Structure 1
Amino acid sequence: MVSVFPKSAAAAAALFFLLPVAAQAQDTGDPQAFAVHGQATMVVQGVGGFDDPYRGPNSLTPEQVRETIDVTLYAGVRPWAGGELWVNPEIDQGFGLSNTLGVAGFPSAEAYKVGKDEPYLRLQRLFFRQTIGLDGEASAVAPAMNVLGGTQAANRLVLTLGKFGIGDVFDTNRYAHDPRSDFLNWSAVDTGSFDYAADAWGYSTGVATEWYQGAWTLRAGLFNLSKVPNGETLERDFRQYQVDIEVEHRHLLGGQPGAIRITAFRNRGRFGRFDDALALGAAQGQAADTSLVRQRTTRMGADVNVEQAVTSTLGLFARAGFADGAIEPYDFTDIDRTAQLGTSLNGAGWGRTNDRIGLVGIVNGISRDHQRYLDAGGLGVLVGDGKLPHPGSEAIAEAYYDWQPRKGFDVTFDYQFVANPGYNRDRGPANVLALRLHGGF
C-alpha cells in the first residue's frame, strides 16, 4: 500500500483534541451579537486491490492510502437586527484517492479537486445574510456554525449574498449532506446530477433568496460558474452563470417530521457537446476533447430530495436527479442521472444517544453520448480511463458508524463498495475504507 501522511498532518491532528475544550468559551447568549466557532476534520482513506487491466489519466489506482485535513474558523457578527456577516478562513492539506479522480461518485467529499502536501490557507466563505420577519409564531434559533443564536418568525424572507456553497442553501438533507458528520461519498451528500456552480473547492459567489410561508419554502439563486469547467477561478461578472430554483414542503407523517424538495438548475456558459467532440476527434484521428468544441450554450437538470423521520431515532432519505447528457458537466462531477436511498439510525436504542449509523445505496449513470466520449479517450471532470469498451452504471454502497466519545469530538468508521468505478465494467469493484476524526465547537 502506498501511504501519504506528512509530518505536518500530525500537528494539525492535535487540534481535534483542543477544539472541544474551546467550546467552553463560546458565548451562547440570546440573541447573539457575535460568535466564533471552529472545526477540524481529518479523513484517512484507503482502497484495496481490484481488477485494473488498463488505466487512463483519470483512473482510480488500486492499493493506496491518502489523507485530508481541514481546519475552519467561523466568525460572525450581527450589525443590526436580522443581519449576519460571516467569514470562514480555512487551512487545508492532503489529497483524495488518485488526486480525487477515478470515480464519479467520489468516495470522499472532504477531498477537494486541488491537493497539496503542505497546509495552505483559503477564504472559503465571506457572506452576508439578512432575515426579514413577516408574521407567524416566533421560534428560537440555536447557535451553530454560520448561524447566530436568536429568534425568527415562521414566515420570513432570507437574503444571502457573497461567497458561500450552493449546498448551504439548496439540496440540503438532515441525514445526508455533511461529509464532516455523516456520509462521505460525493453523490450521497449532494444529488450527483446537480451540477452546481463552484470553484475547485466547492464554493461560488452569488446571491440566494428564500421565502418561508407556512409549510412551504421557495428558493432562488444566481451564481458564478468557474471560468473553465472544473476550474479554480470563478467568474466575477456572471458572464457564465447558474440559476437555481427550489421548492420545499415540510410535513408531518405519522407525527414525525419530513420534507420534500424539488430543485432545478440552468447553467449558461461555454460548454462542449459530446457529439461535436466525437466528430472532431474522429476527423483529426485524436482523442475526443470537449475543450476544443466549447461554445455558448445551456445545460439544465432537476432533482427531487426527500427526508422522513420514521421514529425519534430512525430516519429515511432519498434523492433522484437527471441532467442533460448531451453536454459536458461543468463544475461538479460526471453524473447525468442518479438515484439514492438510505437510512440513519440514532444510537439511543443501545445506550449511545450521540452515536449514529448510516447506510445508503447509490446508482449513478451517464448518457450514451457520454459513454461514447469516454470510450474515444475523452476525459471528464473526475473520470476517464482512456477507453470504455464495456460501460455500466456506478453502483455504490456506503455504511458508517459515528462514535462520539465526548461532546464535540467524533470518530467515524466508514466503508464503501464501488462497482464499475468510472462507469467501467472492466475495472473494480473497489473496497474503500476510511477513518474520520472531527472536532468542533
Structure 2
Amino acid sequence: MRLVFAIVCLSIALSPISARSQTALPDAPSTPAHLHLFLAPEDLVLWSQSDTPVAQQPAEAAEPMTTMFPHPDDTRYYLAGQANIIFQSHPSFHSPYQGQNSLHGGGEYKTSLLGTVYGGYQPHRNIRYNTDFIVDMESAGGRGMSEALGLAGFTNLDVVRNPNLGSSPYLARGVIKQTIGLTNETTDSERTYFSLPTKVPVRRFEVMVGKMSLPDVFDLNSIGSDSHLQFMNWTVDNNGAWDYAADTRGYTVGGVLEYDDRDWSFRYGIFAMPTVANGIDLDWAFSRARGQNWEFELRHSLVHGRKGTERVLAFVNNAHMGDYRDAVVAYLTGKDATPDVDAHAKFGAVKYGFTWNNEQEVTDHLRLFSRFGWNEGQHESYAYTEVDQTVEAGGDYAGSAWGRSADKVGVTFVSNAIKKDHQNYLADGGLGFLLGDGKLNYGRENIEESYYNLHTWRGMFFALDLQHINNPGYNRDRGAVWVPSVRAHVDF
C-alpha cells in the first residue's frame, strides 16, 4: 500500500507536465491527450506591409508520451518494463453455503503486484531475414480474492492461482523468432515487446521457438487482450473456452510456425502441457502430452474505410486428463466416496474445441469486439479455467472525443457455461482446480465489466474498474457479486 500511495502522490505532482512522444507502446492510444501548442517557423503569422495578417498556419498538437522513457526504433536492442498494481474487493453477498473452492461470501479485499522487464536483441537487421532474441523476466506478488477460487471468470488476470509459488523473479519468456521473407515488398510493423522490426516483408514465414504464453500469439484482440490497460477479467481478455497449454503462471514451452500475407495469416503451434491440471511442472514427452493450436486470421472490415479482423482458432489437447462422466459414475456406484476427476486421469485423453474472435473499428473513437468459444466439456478443464462455452461482446471509446485521447473507457458482457457432465460433477460435490461449492444449482455465470483508464503523465496510468458477476461459479444459490477495482500501471 505504501507503493500505491507513492505512485498516487507522484502522479498528482507531475500530472501538469507535458512531453512530446517519440515512441508509444502498442496498446496505448496514439492521438494526443491534451492540446499543447508550440511554435515552429510555419506556425508564425505573416504580416503584410500594412500590418494586416495574410496567412496563418494552424498549430499542431503534440503526441502524448506514454512511456516513462523513449524507446528508439533504430537500435538493435529493446529494453522496457511494466509495473502493475491492482486492488480489488467485494462486499458480502448472498451465500447460504460454500465449499472448499468457493468465492468467500463475506467481504474481502486483496492486492496483486506484477512487474515485468522486457528485453530484445537483433543480431542482424536484415528486413527479409530478421532474427529476434526475446528474454523477459517477471515477478508476481500479492494474492487474488479467495486465492483466485470460486469464479470461472476470475476478476484479475494478473493473479497466480497458487500463492505458494512466491514472488521471486522467474523467466517468463525466452524466445528465438526468425522471419523468412518471400518478397522484397515490405510493410510497416509496430515495434513491440515480442517483435522488434519496424519493416517486414508483406509475404513471410515467422518461426518462434522457446518459452512463451500462447495469448502472446493466438486469440489476440486489440480491444480485449491487455489486462494492464483494458479489461481485467480472465474470460474477457482471453477466450474462456480455449483451454490453452500453460503452467500455473500461464507459460509453456513450444513452437509456432506462421505464414503472413497481405490480408490474411495462418499459424500453427505445439506446446507442452502441465503434468497435472493447472500445475507448475510441464510434461516434456510431446508424444503423449501436447497442446496443438491452429488459427486463421482475416483482416477484412465490415465497415467501409475502417479496420476489421476475424480470427478462427481450433485446439486439441492430449494430456493425463480425467473424465467428469467417469468420476460421477464411480461416485454413484460407490467406488469413490466423493467425485474425484483426478482419480480417473489417463494418458490418451483428448480435449478439443474452437473459438471465434472479431474486432471492428466503427468510428474514429469507437471500436467493437466479440468472442465465441466451445469445447467438448466431458474431459476436465486442465490448464486455463473451467469454461466449456463462452459468448462475449463489448467495445471501447477513445477519450479523444473529450480532449483526452490517451484515456479510454470500455464496457463488455461475457456469459460462461459448462456442459452437463461438468455440471453433474460439481453438483455431486466434486472439486475442479478452480470451482467447488459442495453442491450446485446450475446457471450460466454472467459477467459485466466496465473501466475508465486515465493517462496522468508519461507512462503512468490509473484505472477504475467495476465488475458484476451473476451466479458465481455457475451457482444460482450464490451471488450476485460486485467487484470494484483500482489499477495503477506504469510503462517504463
Aligned to 2:200: 152
Q: Is 2:442 aligned against 1:391?
A: yes
Answer whether contact 1:16 1:439 (CA < 8 A) is retained.
Answer: no
Q: Is 2:108 aligned against 1:68?
A: no
Answer whether contact 1:42 1:68 (CA < 8 A) is retained.
Answer: yes
Q: Is 2:304 aligned against 1:254?
A: yes
Deviation at 1:181, TM superposition (A): 1.0
Q: Is 2:189 aligned against 1:141?
A: yes
Q: 2:352, 2:271 → 1: CA distance?
A: 14
Q: Is 2:358 aligned against 1:315?
A: no
Structure 2: runs of 5 or more not aligned: 15-24, 26-64
The within-5 A match list for 1:330-369 is 330-369=382-421
Answer whether contact 1:95 1:116 (CA < 8 A) is retained.
Answer: no
CA 1:16–1:197 in structure 2 vs 1: closer, same or farther (change >3 Å)? Answer: farther
Aligned to 1:269: 319
How many residue pairs match? The answer is 432
Deviation at 1:94, TM superposition (A): 0.6
Give deviations 1:241-271, integer Å, cap 9, x for gaps: 1000000100132210000000000001111
Q: Is 2:230 aligned against 1:182?
A: yes
CA 1:367–1:118 in structure 2 vs 1: closer, same or farther (change >3 Å)? Answer: closer
Aligned to 2:95: 52
Q: 1:158, 1:270 → 2: CA distance?
A: 31
Give deviations 1:103-158, integer Å, cap 9, x for gaps: 00111111111225963211111111111222264223333223324311121111
CA 1:352–1:293 in structure 2 vs 1: closer, same or farther (change >3 Å)? Answer: same
Deviation at 1:162, TM superposition (A): 0.3
Aligned to 2:290: 241
- State the one-letter code of the partner of 2:462: V
Which shows bigger deviation, 337-346 or 209-218? 209-218
Give deviations 1:203-254, integer Å, cap 9, x for gaps: 1100011101121100100000111111011122324110000001001322
Answer whether contact 1:16 1:40 (CA < 8 A) is retained.
Answer: no
Aligned to 1:214: 262
Q: 2:190, 2:389 → 1: CA distance?
A: 36
Q: 2:166, 2:271 → 1: CA distance?
A: 30
Deviation at 1:286, TM superposition (A): 1.5
The match for 1:408 among 431, 434, 459 is: 459
Q: Secondary structure at the match of 2:325?
A: helix
Q: Is 2:141 aligned against 1:90?
A: no
Which shows bigger deviation, 21-30 or 280-289? 21-30
The match for 2:468 among 393, 400, 417 is: 417
Aligned to 2:330: 280
Answer whether contact 2:68 2:458 (CA < 8 A) is retained.
Answer: no
Answer whether contact 1:332 1:381 (CA < 8 A) is retained.
Answer: no
CA 1:131–1:361 in structure 2 vs 1: closer, same or farther (change >3 Å)? Answer: same
CA 1:119–1:243 in structure 2 vs 1: closer, same or farther (change >3 Å)? Answer: closer
Answer whether contact 2:4 2:85 (CA < 8 A) is retained.
Answer: no
Q: Is 2:144 aligned against 1:112?
A: no
Q: Is 2:341 aligned against 1:298?
A: no
Q: Is 2:489 aligned against 1:438?
A: yes
Structure 1 length normalisation: TM-score? 0.93
Structure 1: runs of 5 or more not aligned: none
Q: 2:340, 2:208 → 1: CA distance?
A: 37
Aligned to 1:327: 379
Q: 2:285, 2:6 → 1: CA distance?
A: 37
Q: 1:244, 1:15 → 2: CA distance?
A: 45
Q: 1:268, 1:118 → 2: CA distance?
A: 29
Q: Is 2:249 aligned against 1:198?
A: no
Deviation at 1:369, TM superposition (A): 1.0
Deviation at 1:23, TM superposition (A): 5.1
- State the one-letter code of the partner of 1:147: S
Answer whether contact 2:66 2:460 (CA < 8 A) is retained.
Answer: no
Aligned to 1:35: 78
Answer whether contact 1:329 1:335 (CA < 8 A) is retained.
Answer: yes
Q: Secondary structure at the match of 1:227?
A: coil
Answer whether contact 2:66 2:457 (CA < 8 A) is retained.
Answer: no
CA 1:59–1:343 in structure 2 vs 1: closer, same or farther (change >3 Å)? Answer: same
Answer whether contact 1:194 1:332 (CA < 8 A) is retained.
Answer: yes
Answer whether contact 1:164 1:205 (CA < 8 A) is retained.
Answer: yes
Answer whether contact 1:16 1:41 (CA < 8 A) is retained.
Answer: no
Give me the identity figure in percent: 34
Structure 2 length normalisation: TM-score? 0.84
Q: 1:29, 1:118 → 2: CA distance?
A: 36
- State the one-letter code of the partner of 2:135: V
Relative to its length, the structure with more strand (as a share) is 1
- State the one-letter code of the partner of 2:319: G
Answer whether contact 2:66 2:458 (CA < 8 A) is retained.
Answer: no
Q: 2:260, 2:166 → 1: CA distance?
A: 43
CA 1:344–1:268 in structure 2 vs 1: closer, same or farther (change >3 Å)? Answer: same
CA 1:43–1:116 in structure 2 vs 1: closer, same or farther (change >3 Å)? Answer: farther
